Structure 1
Amino acid sequence: MNFRLTFPVAPLEPSLQYSDKILLSGSCFAEEIGARLLQHKFNAQVNPNGILFNPLSIAQSMQSYMDGRRYTDTDLFLHEDIWHSWDHHSRYSGTQQQVVLDHINHAQAEASKRLKEADWLIITLGSAYVYVLKENSRIVGNCHKVPEAAFYKRLLTADEIITALDNMMHRLFFSNAKVNILFTVSPVRYARDGVVENNLSKAILLQAVHHLVNKFSRLYYFPAYELVIDDLRDYRFFKEDLVHPNELAIQYVWEHFTNSCMTPSTQQLEKQVSDLLRARQHRPFNADSPQHRQFLDACARKAEALKEQHPYLDLEEELAYFKR
């Protein structure tokens, strides 16, 4: 007797490789997958603007990278003695205006360079709802706990999303002829929007993404949303807030991601890297014993061999640990 409905995830072609340069942008779920890519030594940059939920803010951020935009003091605003940018997550906010600008502009420069060189752009859409400043009708990427009265909230249409992403991609493909784009929709439930409203929002995102994927080459879709909502389909796989997938669910999605989106050789290399990472976490009873020194020496040789075979792997921290 089956108690859950599983489904096959179509393999991604072309697939991700360790030599690829990857840029991820979007909701907090992009951070979860991006963190695992970084943990396993993939060459990835994650959320240069911080977490962005709506597709128009994501498209705008990509346009700013392609423009090589630098932010100035007029792009910041002061709220409760903290400087913020409407285009950035609060991780960039701070009490010193110049520090905030330097942090933002450093990330902008890195993202601009990465986008020109990227083999993959992974975009995770979170919500079709946007918050718009009443004073100038500007869509914001983050509200920064400014009082709700300063905004009005509206639901984007699929056409608005398609137009914004289409314009962004047209320009991107002109500047980077090799980049592929992988779309996902976040399985995080935005319960504060309302259950019905959240489902409507996700439906619009899915409609827009599949329209684009079916229309253009070099665009792909990975079903992170369906794996959590339709496959796992149980609150056991959510955190205590009942809206964010828990560690077990994220690991389940990650395993499907590696199996379907990576070449077999990349999967094998990922397992070898994982073995090294686990070895680094090993805590001996006696760190000064000859046996532990032999263990560290063996791990160092494995890391050096991997580095020689795959020079794009960054294993400097592991080598320093094993040779200490």
Structure 2
Amino acid sequence: MKLMLDVEIKSPARKITYADKIFLIGSCFTEHIGRRLEELKFSMIQNPNGILFDPVSVSKSLNSYIDLKKYKQADLFYLNELWQSWNHHSVFSGMDANNVLLNINLSQRKAHDELKKATWLIITLGSSFSYQLTEDNQPVANCHRAPGQWFNKHMLTTEETVSVLEESIQKLLDFNPTLQIIFTISPVRHIRDGVVENNRSKARLIEAVHQLVDKYEHSHYFPSYELVIDVLRDYRFYDIDLVHPNYAATEFVFEKFEQSFIDPNTRNYMEEIKKISNGYRHKPFQPQTQSHLSFLKSSFEKVRQLQEKLPELDFSKELTYFSKRNL
């Protein structure tokens, strides 16, 4: 009996390997993928501005990395005892304006350098709703708990989304001509907008992204939205808020990403790294037993051999931990 629909996932001819550098930007679902890639020791950077949801914020941030925009105090505003940036998540906010600017500009420099070297750019879009300040129509990436009357809310049309993202794609390909771009739509429901409005918002994003993927040969689509909404479907794959996919759902989506976008030889190494990571996280009840010391010794040797095969990866913390047998 068939219990799930199949979703066809088009795999690119060239797939991700450990030699690649990956740049991720977008919604909170970006960080689920990014966290898994980081655990598996891929060279990656994610969300240099913090979490971003709408295409305007994503595009504006990418353009700022390419142009190496330097933020000044005039780019900040003071609210709730904190200096903040309309273009950044609140993780960048702080009580000292100079420190806020320092952290933002360090992130800008790192993003510029990493985007220039990146092989893959993964863009996860969360919502078509864009917010602008009422006083000057400046788009904002984060409202920072400011009063609602400070903002105008606008659902971007498909044409507006295509236009703003296409501008960034063209700049990206001039900046880094070999860059491969993976678009995906977050399966997280923006339910505060309303169920109908959320579906309209996601539909516009999906259509816009497919227009871009059809036009640019270096662009690809990964159906994380469809995998959760159309394949898993059941609310048991959501957290208690019924909005965010839970651990089982995100693992399922990442497995599909592995199968479709990551090189088979690299996936073999990933399995070895998963075992090493599990061993590293294991906390023994009796660390002085001979069996645990033997485990440390065999694990150390496995890591050492893997380090020789993959010298570009950093196994220093694992090697230090498993070498405890010598202490």
TM-score (norm 1): 0.98
Measure the CA separation in 2 of the matches of 1:274 and 1:47.
24
RMSD across aligned positions (CA):
1.0
The reply on whether 1:245 has 2:245 as its aligned counterpart is yes
Residue in structure 2 matched with residue 265 of structure 1 by the alignment: 265
Q: Tell me if structure 2 keeps the 8 A contact 1:51–1:89.
A: yes
Written as runs of structure 1 = structure 2, the 5 A alignment for 1:9-24 is 9-24=9-24
What per-residue deviation string (whole Å, max 9, x for no partner) do you get for residues 184-208 of structure 1? 0000000000111000000000010
Residue in structure 2 matched with residue 45 of structure 1 by the alignment: 45
Written as runs of structure 1 = structure 2, the 5 A alignment for 1:177-192 is 177-192=177-192
Residue in structure 2 matched with residue 93 of structure 1 by the alignment: 93
Residue in structure 1 matched with residue 195 of structure 2 by the alignment: 195
SS at match of 1:181: strand
Using the TM superposition, give the Cα deviation of residue 2 of structure 1 relative to its aligned residue in structure 2, in angstroms.
3.4
SS at match of 2:44: strand
Measure the CA separation in 2 of the matches of 1:227 and 1:293.
43
Q: State the AA in 2 paired with 1:276.
A: I
Q: Tell me if structure 2 keeps the 8 A contact 1:158–1:207.
A: yes
What per-residue deviation string (whole Å, max 9, x for no partner) do you get for residues 95-134 of structure 1? 1211111111111111000010000000000000011100
Using the TM superposition, give the Cα deviation of residue 10 of structure 1 relative to its aligned residue in structure 2, in angstroms.
2.8
SS at match of 1:22: strand
Residue in structure 2 matched with residue 146 of structure 1 by the alignment: 146
Structure 1: unaligned runs, 5 residues or longer: none
Residue in structure 2 matched with residue 29 of structure 1 by the alignment: 29
Structure 2: unaligned runs, 5 residues or longer: none
Using the TM superposition, give the Cα deviation of residue 283 of structure 1 relative to its aligned residue in structure 2, in angstroms.
2.5
Q: State the AA in 2 paired with 1:50.
A: G
Residue in structure 2 matched with residue 108 of structure 1 by the alignment: 108
Using the TM superposition, give the Cα deviation of residue 305 of structure 1 relative to its aligned residue in structure 2, in angstroms.
1.0
Residue in structure 2 matched with residue 228 of structure 1 by the alignment: 228
Q: Which moved more, 1:94-103 or 1:50-59?
A: 94-103
Q: Tell me if structure 1 keeps the 8 A contact 2:7–2:226.
A: no
What per-residue deviation string (whole Å, max 9, x for no partner) do you get for residues 266-297 of structure 1? 11011010010011122223211232222112
SS at match of 2:88: coil
Q: Tell me if structure 2 keeps the 8 A contact 1:4–1:232.
A: yes
Residue in structure 2 matched with residue 292 of structure 1 by the alignment: 292
Q: State the AA in 2 paired with 1:60.
A: K
Q: Tell me if structure 1 keeps the 8 A contact 2:10–2:221.
A: no
SS at match of 1:132: strand
TM-score (norm 2): 0.97
SS at match of 1:323: helix
Measure the CA separation in 2 of the matches of 1:266 and 1:142.
37
What per-residue deviation string (whole Å, max 9, x for no partner) do you get for residues 288-320 of structure 1? 123222211211111111111111111111111
Using the TM superposition, give the Cα deviation of residue 9 of structure 1 relative to its aligned residue in structure 2, in angstroms.
2.4
Using the TM superposition, give the Cα deviation of residue 169 of structure 1 relative to its aligned residue in structure 2, in angstroms.
1.2
Measure the CA separation in 2 of the matches of 1:168 and 1:241.
34
Measure the CA separation in 1 of the matches of 2:7 and 2:210.
18
Q: Tell me if structure 2 keeps the 8 A contact 1:12–1:262.
A: no
Residue in structure 2 matched with residue 63 of structure 1 by the alignment: 63
Q: State the AA in 2 paired with 1:226.
A: E
Measure the CA separation in 1 of the matches of 2:183 and 2:216.
13
SS at match of 2:145: coil
